């Protein structure tokens, strides 16, 4: 399993200058290769006999001309330009397969990063050795043990971070409390409501710091472009944006860790977050919650602990369906938070009822997989899984 540990670096002025130069070299090589790719592609369209552009050919071309045309590239590690072009090749692969959009040019201040291969650096304790630079201090030691695959050095505002990727077999501990299956209903007022009745309030960091964000944005717009005061105001605004993102991310990590430690199977809705953000009245509140990031964390943390996440179809009427008798309402307004079932007379909390329905779908989906049948309201898979025996209380070897 590949895992990454992001650690903040503590460089001195010389080291920080080297990082900026290496990131600039990687950005230049990426943009040069993208422009050359487009140029060669147009030439290939005019003359089909010419070879199509490729990442390997662009790397060889850069190596043949950089000593004469770009001698400043030699002052930093060779991985900076070479791996940047390799990343462009993967970007085009993702574009051709429909997994991503067309690659765009990198911008200074937003894409300040470069990557190192595993044979070009070394990590010992709380320091990392960078080629052509030497040892750089880190804020903490590497958390994972195993074979180091690569490292990426990136700047966030005015701090540098090293993201070290490790291939390891050391998985997190199994479930502390195996409470079976749970349904998780996501919302704007309350971030998550569990089928057990528990609710988790979102931090709403953007809403809390919105007035300060507006004040700093107005102050930045009044500064003269190119002045030192504008640079200071821009740095303050960027720090606030990072603070908001960190508060949200910390809350989501705590929630996802708590759920995956306690439950083996987790049922959540396959929400169309991109479509939900088109609602001009709720877009800010939805973006402030981080639904997509929570789903991503639940999936990989559940896989770490031997659990699973069941994605329920987005059209499944989880809120309109009575979790007791199965009666389905024709319509349910968004402002109605409690309703009484006309079929059985049970009073429901909207979010708790939806979470229970998601739990029931997750249970039935797991049982269907054991029988080799379809998964019902859960998201359909392109390849039908083979019948396998599943035991929720199985012992997993994490050593």
At 249-304, the pLDDT tens digits run 999 999 999 999 999 999 999 988 888 999 888 899 999 999 999 999 999 999 88
* Burial of 23 (C-beta count, 10 Å sphere; 0-12/13-18/19+): buried
Predicted TM-score (pTM) of the model is: 0.82
For the chain, the average pLDDT equals: 87
pLDDT at 172 over 70: no
Mean pLDDT for the stretch of residues 96-115 = 93
Mean pLDDT for the stretch of residues 120-129 = 93
Q: Calculate what percentage of the chain has a pLDDT beyond 70.
A: 90
Q: Choosing from 55, 112, 185, 288, which is the catalytic residue?
A: 185
Count CB atoms within 10 A of the CB of residue 162: 23
Q: Choosing from 55, 112, 269, 288, which is the catalytic residue?
A: 269
Which of 350, 347, 344 has its CA nearest to residue 327?
Answer: 344
Q: Is 185 a catalytic residue?
A: yes
Q: Choosing from 55, 112, 288, 351, which is the catalytic residue?
A: 351
> Which pLDDT score is estimated for 396?
34
Task: Return the minimum-mean-pLDDT range out of 81-85, 196-200, 232-236.
Answer: 196-200
Hey, what are 298's tokens?
A: 């639940």
Q: Is 351 a catalytic residue?
A: yes
> Which pLDDT score is estimated for 371?
55
pLDDT at 356 over 80: yes
How confident is residue 311, by pLDDT bands cut at 50, 70 and 90? very high
Place of tokens 């071309």: 61
Mean pLDDT for the stretch of residues 181-200 = 91
| Cα angle value 9/10/16 (rounded, 5°) | 90
> Which pLDDT score is estimated for 323?
84
> Which pLDDT score is estimated for 390?
37
Mean pLDDT for the stretch of residues 209-215 = 96
Task: Return the minimum-mean-pLDDT range out of 182-191, 231-240, 338-347.
Answer: 338-347
How confident is residue 151, by pLDDT bands cut at 50, 70 and 90? very high
> Which pLDDT score is estimated for 174?
66
Q: Is 112 a catalytic residue?
A: no
Cα–Cα dist 23/84, whole Å = 10
Give the helix ranges, DSSP H, for the chain: 13-46, 55-69, 79-96, 205-208, 210-222, 228-262, 273-276, 283-289, 291-304, 350-371
Mean pLDDT for the stretch of residues 332-352 = 85
């Amino acid at each position: 399993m590949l895992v990454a540990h992001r650690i903040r670096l503590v460089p001195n002025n010389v080291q920080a200058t080297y990082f900026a130069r290496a990131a600039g070299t990687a950005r230049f090589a990426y943009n040069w290769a993208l422009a050359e790719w487009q140029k060669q592609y147009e030439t290939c369209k005019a003359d089909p006999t010419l070879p199509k552009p490729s990442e390997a050919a662009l790397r060889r071309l850069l190596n043949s001309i950089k000593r004469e045309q770009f001698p400043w590239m030699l002052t930093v590690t060779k991985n900076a330009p070479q791996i940047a072009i390799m990343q462009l090749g993967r970007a085009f692969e993702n574009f051709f397969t429909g997994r991503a959009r067309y690659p765009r040019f990198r911008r200074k201040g937003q894409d300040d990063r470069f990557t190192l291969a595993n044979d070009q650096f070394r990590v010992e304790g709380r320091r990392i050795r960078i080629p052509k630079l030497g040892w750089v201090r880190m804020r903490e030691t590497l958390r994972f043990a195993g074979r180091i695959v690569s490292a990426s050095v990136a700047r966030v505002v005015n701090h540098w971070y090293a993201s070290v990727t490790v291939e390891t077999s050391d998985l997190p501990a199994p479930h502390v409390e195996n409470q079976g299956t749970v349904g998780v209903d996501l919302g704007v007022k309350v971030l998550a409501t569990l089928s057990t009745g528990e609710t988790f309030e979102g931090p709403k960091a953007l809403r809390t710091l919105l007035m300060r964000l507006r004040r700093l944005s107005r102050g930045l717009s009044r500064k003269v472009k190119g002045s030192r005061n504008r640079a200071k105001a821009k740095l303050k605004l960027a720090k606030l944006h990072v603070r908001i993102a960190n508060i949200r991310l910390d809350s989501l990590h705590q929630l996802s860790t708590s759920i995956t430690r306690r439950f083996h199977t987790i049922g959540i809705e396959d929400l169309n977050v991109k479509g939900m953000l088109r609602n001009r009245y709720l877009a800010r509140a939805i973006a402030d919650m981080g639904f997509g990031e929570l789903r991503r964390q639940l999936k990989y943390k559940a896989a770490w602990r031997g659990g699973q996440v069941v994605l329920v179809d987005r059209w499944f009427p989880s809120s309109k369906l009575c979790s007791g008798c199965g009666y389905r309402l024709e319509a349910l307004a968004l402002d109605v938070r409690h309703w009484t079932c006309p079929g059985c007379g049970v009073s429901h909390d909207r979010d708790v009822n939806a979470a229970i329905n998601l739990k029931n779908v997750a249970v039935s989906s797991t049982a269907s997989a054991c029988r080799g049948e379809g998964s019902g309201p859960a998201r359909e898979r392109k390849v039908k899984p083979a019948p396998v025996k599943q035991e929720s209380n199985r012992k997993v070897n994490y050593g």
